[in-house]
Amino acid sequence: MKKPLQLAVQYLTLFFIVLTLNFVLVRMMPGSPLDYLSENPEAVTPLMNDEIRLLLLSYYGLDKPLHVQFIDYLAGILRGDLGYSIYYAQPVMVVVLPYLMRSLILVFMGFVITLAISLPLGVVSAWKRSSKLDTFLTSTMVIMRSMPPFFVAMMFLLLFIYKLKMFPLTSYAYGESLTEILYRALLPSIVFALCEVGGIYYFVRNAVLEVIGEEFVLLARAKGLKDRILMFRHVFKAALPAISARISIFLGFSFASSMFVEYVFTYPGIMTLLTIAYDNYDYPLLHAILLILLSVIIFANMLADLVMVIADPRIRTQ
């Protein structure tokens, strides 16, 4: 149990550091919510004046010293209260959830496509190492991995939306059916998958190659076990803990990288909301979005460590 407890302490410390940086970096931005309220008095009331402006700053706690704001910020997170959006004049979670769900749909669909391509190709490539097939797959994945996501997104945008007109460019409309939502997320998900498939492919290939060199594989081959059974029932199963750990890490960072795809396709996900929050100095909304993104990355890394601790006895006994 020592290792899981060490991981818990380590990640709790990291989470506190992330919370602190989230608070500090947002307040290092040029400008303040007062600028938004001053430049957009119609966002609050047409009778906006200095007194009302100061009352609003007091309401959001922005007139307090920074250390008091930080304590209030931590206390709000512990209560599950992320505050009230300055721009939308609604609770932050009410604003964030629809955008977050659309981003999760995109990432989930893209991740399923990525795994469907990379897992079998990685296993086959490792099993047929140094063959023409392995060389072809490896070279193809190098090319795909080196292409910037925004470049791939632009190519697909021009081809499938402007040229072939197979997909709409417009954002979501409220009240759309699940089928329509999935349809609109399909093209960004495919682009996301094509940009990320190379990374998972290499994780799988390298993990399987390590297992292939083990004695039990050589012994099974000597006994005449069929390649297909040996590859998927034994080799892949032995490599699965390492693959699962890497995939967990990949999933955390891919959530952040998907924002480039969202931007190109004007997909109304977290990236869109982040831009709105930044442009309007919406501190509570910025805090919530950055907290979600960083928490996903931390949780993914923690999950990867726990998978390795549970699956590998050598780590548990260290």
Q: What is the mean pLDDT of residues 92-100?
A: 90
Collapsed DSSP state (helix, strand, coil) of residue 218: helix
Q: 119-149: per-residue pLDDT in tens?
A: 889 988 988 888 999 999 999 998 888 888 8
Counting other chains too, the contacts that 144-148 makes at CB distance below 8 Å and 24 or more residues apart are 144/194, 144/195, 144/197, 144/198, 145/198, 145/199, 145/202, 147/195, 148/260
**Residue length, the chain?**
318
Q: Which amino acid is at 229?
A: I
Instruction: Identify the CA nearest to 198 among candidates 239, 160, 152.
Output: 152
Q: What pLDDT, on the 0 to 100 scale, is given for residue 171? A: 54
Q: What is the CATH number of domain 98-313?
A: 1.10.3720.10
Instruction: Identify the CA nearest to 289 among candidates 303, 272, 301, 302.
Output: 272
Q: What is the mean pLDDT of residues 282-310?
A: 81
Q: What pLDDT, on the 0 to 100 scale, is given for residue 45? A: 47
Distance (Å, whole) CA 103 – CA 96: 11
pLDDT at residue 1 tops 50 = no
* Contact call for residues 301 and 87 (beta carbons, < 8 A): no
Q: What pLDDT, on the 0 to 100 scale, is given for residue 145? A: 85
Mean pLDDT over the full length of the chain: 80
Assign 310 a pLDDT band (cuts: 50, 70, 90): low
Question: What six digits make up the tokens of 234?
Answer: 């034994």
Domain ranges of the chain: 2-79, 98-313
Q: 28-60: per-residue pLDDT in tens?
A: 777 666 665 555 555 544 455 667 667 767 777
